[in-house]
Amino acid sequence: MRTFQKSSKLENVCYDVRGPVLDEANRMQESGIDVLKLNIGNPAPFGFSAPEEVILDMIYTLRDSQGYSDSKGIFSARKAIMQYCQIKKIPNVTINDIYTGNGVSELINMVTQGLLDNGDEILVPSPDYPLWTGCVSLAGGTPVHYICDEQSEWYPDIEDIKSKITDKTKAIVLINPNNPTGAVYPKELLLEIVEIAREHELMIFSDEIYDRLVFDGIEHTSIASLAPDVFCITLNGLSKSHMIAGFRCGWMVLSGAKEKAKGYIEGLNMLSNMRLCSNVPGQAIIQTALGGYQSVNEYLMPGGRIYEQREYIYNAINDIPGLSAVKPKAAFYIFPKMDTKKFNILDDEKFALDLLKEKKVLITHGKGFNWGGPDHFRIVYLPSVEELRKATGKLRDFFAGYHQK
Ligand code: PLP
């Protein structure tokens, strides 16, 4: 009998955030068990809604958005993104340097497929948003993880980056602000990374999807704004800042030393043409979304929902004996550390399953973010403070009696 197996291309691809623990949670839910889900960064199910203006705009433009667009996107969207680049001080961006995508996800796949030959290496942060590692592997490349250091606000460890560069390294990936740590990188650190890229002739991918979700008056700096002589691709989108993850609305911007990347850009254009275009109703709202008043800021100020949820989760986690966490400066994730000796944790996926089965709380274990040890997990703090209080109460009870077997 002929059977069908997954392609060998998928053999090294790891994408644990939607893996066996989530499957178990879904089985539990299907059998009627209520699971507190702190695992996916999707604002809409937690009572967040897009700004009304954005919804109205989509309805208004829907009739005119039925056909394919230019493969890179409609003019008004790309113009608005170009103006956003001006605000972010990314130099020298023309309409032609901008591509819309079905979320940043599609573009992460595109930029890695377009660049990598078997054996090429890309520096990827650990912990990371795991689609980067997965897509590098899928494209035949080798993800080489550099450490982000919890002792230094989860900033990338510059010496570790330097030590991992080989003659096969083509690029470095930055996720800034970071998922899962919530770190925002200061300008001085970004300058050091630019200097490394310059010296070793690497290109830079910067995933900045959380750049409009920063707390405490911190100003986000796009690394591309500091690297006019390095080829950069900056990725961004509306899934998080406008709470419309389901609309699949993202973009990428090429900047810096484009003359060094002519062949690669040809490849990107081909891949962009091959997917015809990103969804056009999603593109049609970009101009409205990026222009004018940014209502997301209200969530991020003291008294605002996401701000207060961050305060709550940060204090509650640090109050649980055996747990500690760095305060997130952006996004809506926290990445606590567990005292593995105290709880005898050797396997973080088993910990996640034990917690799920015992307390009906779903988190994502650190390995899902390509973190090396079994000592971390990620909480999405999008649920209300009331829900978070329930969840942290259960976590406290769980850890009070946990000793992994
Ligand atoms: N990049 C990061 C760092 C993310 O956290 C996510 C989603 O969680 C994405 C990209 C994907 O976003 P999109 O909805 O635009 O595909």
Same domain, 227 and 105: yes
CATH of the domain at 393: 3.90.1150.10
Same domain, 157 and 215: yes
Under a CB-based contact definition with an 8 Å cutoff, are residues 156 and 146 in contact?
yes
Same domain, 25 and 103: no
Task: Tell me the average confidence (pLDDT) per consecutive run of 10 residues in the chain, 405 residues long.
Answer: 92 80 94 94 92 94 96 98 98 97 98 97 98 97 98 98 98 98 98 98 98 97 98 98 96 98 98 98 96 91 97 98 98 98 96 97 96 97 97 97 91
In a domain, residue 58? The reply is no
CATH of the domain at 281: 3.40.640.10
Under a CB-based contact definition with an 8 Å cutoff, are residues 128 and 205 in contact?
no
**21 CB burial (10 A radius; 0-12, 13-18, 19+):** buried
Ligand 1 centroid–CA 207 distance in Å is: 8
237 CA: nearest ligand 1 atom = 15
Bridge partners (DSSP) of residue 175 are: 207
Same domain, 216 and 253: yes
Residue where one domain finishes, among candidates 258, 290, 322: 290
Question: What pairing do the DSSP bridges indicate for beta strands 98-101 and 121-126?
Answer: unpaired
Q: What are the backbone angles phi and psi of residue 373, rounded to the nearest 5°?
A: -100, 175
Say what the pLDDT of residue 20 is: 86
Same domain, 82 and 177: yes
Same domain, 137 and 280: yes
SS3 assignment, position 143: strand
43 lines ligand 1 (CB under 6 A): no
Q: Which residues are CB-contacts of 141 (< 8 A; sequence separation ≥ 6)?
A: 112, 115, 116, 117, 118, 119, 120, 121, 122, 170
Which of 102, 209, 236 has most ligand 1 atoms within 8 Å of its beta carbon, as the pocket-test mutant?
A: 209
Q: How far is CA 51 from CA 55, 66, 208, in A?
A: 7, 23, 21
Give how many domains the chain has, as a whole number: 2
Say what the pLDDT of residue 12 is: 84
In a domain, residue 85? The reply is yes
In a domain, residue 195? The reply is yes
Ligand 1 centroid–CA 242 distance in Å is: 13
In a domain, residue 55? The reply is no
Bridge partners (DSSP) of residue 362 are: 37
**Tokens 């948003």 sit on residue:** 129
Ligand 1 centroid–CA 104 distance in Å is: 6
**Cis before residue 177, ω within 30 degrees of 0?**
yes
Q: Which of 134, 138, 121, 120 is nearest to 7 (CA)?
A: 138
Say what the pLDDT of residue 401 is: 92
127 lines ligand 1 (CB under 6 A): no
Residue where one domain finishes, among candidates 263, 290, 317: 290
129 lines ligand 1 (CB under 6 A): yes
Same domain, 169 and 40: no
Same domain, 242 and 101: yes
Separation CA 9–CA 300 (nearest Å): 41
Separation CA 25–CA 36 (nearest Å): 9
179 lines ligand 1 (CB under 6 A): yes
Same domain, 141 and 253: yes
Taking the CB of residue 322, how many other CB atoms lie within 10 A of it? 17
103 lines ligand 1 (CB under 6 A): yes
Residue where one domain finishes, among candidates 272, 290, 308: 290
41 lines ligand 1 (CB under 6 A): yes
Is the pTM value of this prediction over 0.90?
A: yes
Residue owning the nearest CA to atom 7 of ligand 1: 41
Torsion of Cα atoms, 166 then 172 then 177 then 179, to 10°: -70
Say what the pLDDT of residue 19 is: 78
Same domain, 27 and 137: no
Q: Which of 219, 248, 155 is nearest to 193 (CA)?
A: 155
Angle between helices 131-138 and 103-115 in degrees, nearest 10: 40
In a domain, residue 242? The reply is yes
Taking the CB of residue 162, how many other CB atoms lie within 10 A of it? 13
ipTM: 0.99
In a domain, residue 59? The reply is no
Q: How far is CA 379 from CA 101, 104, 109, 114, 364, in A?
A: 27, 22, 26, 33, 7
Alpha helix (H) residue ranges in 152-261: 158-163, 187-200
Residue owning the nearest CA to atom 12 of ligand 1: 104
- 2-14: burial string, b at 16+ Cβ within 10 Å, e else: eeeeeeeeeeebe
Question: What pairing do the DSSP bridges indicate for beta strands 361-362 and 36-37?
Answer: parallel
250 lines ligand 1 (CB under 6 A): yes
Same domain, 314 and 284: no
Q: What range does the domain containing 190 cover?
A: 67-290
143 lines ligand 1 (CB under 6 A): no
In a domain, residue 2? The reply is no
Which of 40, 131, 205 has most ligand 1 atoms within 8 Å of its beta carbon, as the pocket-test mutant?
A: 131
In a domain, residue 57? The reply is no
Q: Which residues are CB-contacts of 31 (< 8 A; sequence separation ≥ 6)?
A: none
Ligand 1 centroid–CA 237 distance in Å is: 8
Same domain, 327 and 205: no
Say what the pLDDT of residue 195 is: 98
Under a CB-based contact definition with an 8 Å cutoff, are residues 357 and 344 in contact?
no
Say what the pLDDT of residue 405 is: 87
Which of 179, 244, 334, 381 has most ligand 1 atoms within 8 Å of its beta carbon, as the pocket-test mutant?
A: 179
Separation CA 118–CA 137 (nearest Å): 9
Separation CA 208–CA 204 (nearest Å): 12
